[in-house]
Amino acid sequence: MASLIFLIIACFVAAFIDAVAGGGGLISLPAYLIAGFPPHMALGTNKFSSSWGSLFATAKFAKDGKIDFSLIKFMVPLSFIGAVLGVKSVLLIDQSFLGPVVMLMILFVGLYTMFSKSLGRTNHYRGATKQSTAVGMLLAFLLGFYDGFFGPGTGTFIIFGLMYIFKFDFVHANGNAKALNLTSNIASLITFAISGKIKYTIGIPVAIAMIAGGQLGARAAVKNGYKLIKPVFLVMAFGAFAKLLYAYL
C-alpha cells in the first residue's frame, strides 16, 4: 500500500511537469523502479499510466487551439511506427550504449535554450514548407523510436525540435509535442501490453493520478506560457543530463 501511495504522488507530480514542459518520465520511471518493479515491467506500466495523463493533457492543448493538426497529421504516423520499432528493439537489445550520446545531446539542448534570448518566446510559425514538413516527419520517427527504446528527455527533444524547425513558441511547441508524445506512448503501450509487461492493478490508480496532474499542468502551461514553460523546460533538460551522467558514472 505504501508503494502505491508513493507512486500516486510521484506520478501526479511527473504528469504535471510533463504537461508543462515535458520530461515527466524522469520522475515517473525511476519511481516505478524505486517501488521494486523489474525494468521492463516498469517501462510498460509507466507507459500505461503516463499515456492517460498525456491523453488528457493533449486534449486540453487541442481545446485551446495550441495544436496544428494540419502539420501534426503528417508526423503522427511516423512517431507511431518509430515507437513500435523502438519497443521491439528494447526488448531484445541492451540500451546502455545510448547513455553517453543522449547525455551530450540533451546538454546541448539545455545550453542552447538557456542562452537563446528569442527561442520559444514568440510564435513565428506561419505554416510548413515541404522541406520543413519532411524534416519534422524525420524528427517524429527518430524521437518515436527513441521514446520506445530509451525515453529520458523525449519531451525535451520534441519541444526543442519543433521550436527550431517550425519557429513555434514554447506553448505551441509544447501542445504539438504532446500530440506526438501521446502517439509514441500509445504505440509503446500496445507493444508492451502484447508482451505482457504491464501491471494493471498498479497502473490504473496511478493513471488516474496522472490524468489529474496532466490536466493541471496543461492549464498552467496555457495560462502562463513562456514565463512558466522555459524555466521548467530548462530544469528538466539539465535534470535529464544529471540523471544520465550519474547513471553513466
Q: Say if CB 82 and CB 145 are below 8 A apart.
A: yes
Crossing angle, helix 69-90 and helix 170-194, to 10 degrees?
A: 40
| Overall average pLDDT of the 151-169 stretch | 86
Percent of the chain with pLDDT over 70: 96
Q: Say if CB 158 and CB 109 are below 8 A apart.
A: no
More confident residue, 82 or 25: 82
pLDDT value, residue 99: 63
Q: What is the domain extent for residue 193?
A: 2-248
Q: Cell triple for residue 95?
A: 540500451
pLDDT value, residue 104: 79
**Residue 10 vs residues 54, 126, 127, 201: alpha-carbon distances, Å:** 16, 38, 38, 17
Which amino acid appears at position 130 of this protein? K
- Per-residue pLDDT band for 157 (boundaries 50, 70, 90) equals confident
Number of domains in the chain: 1
Q: Cell triple for residue 16?
A: 504535471
Percent of the chain with pLDDT over 90: 32
Give the span between the Cα atoms of 221 and 224, in whole angstroms: 5
What does the pLDDT look like over 168-185, one tens digit per residue? 988 899 899 989 988 888
Q: Say if CB 236 and CB 39 are below 8 A apart.
A: no
Give the span between the Cα atoms of 10 and 32, in whole angstroms: 9
What does the pLDDT look like over 128-144, one tens digit per residue? 889 999 999 999 999 89
**Helical spans, DSSP H, in 37-92:** 39-63, 69-90
Q: Is 115 exposed, middle or buried (0-12, 13-18, 19+ CB in 10 A)?
A: exposed
User: 66 CB contacts (<8 Å, ≥6 apart)?
Assistant: 171, 172, 174, 175, 176, 222
Q: What is the CA radius of gyration of the chain?
A: 16
Q: Cell triple for residue 177?
A: 509535442
How far separated are the first and last CA of the chain, in Å rounded? 33
What does the pLDDT look like over 56-99, one tens digit per residue? 889 989 999 999 999 999 999 999 999 889 888 877 766 566 66
Cα-flanking dihedrals φ and ψ of residue 232, to 5°? -65, -40
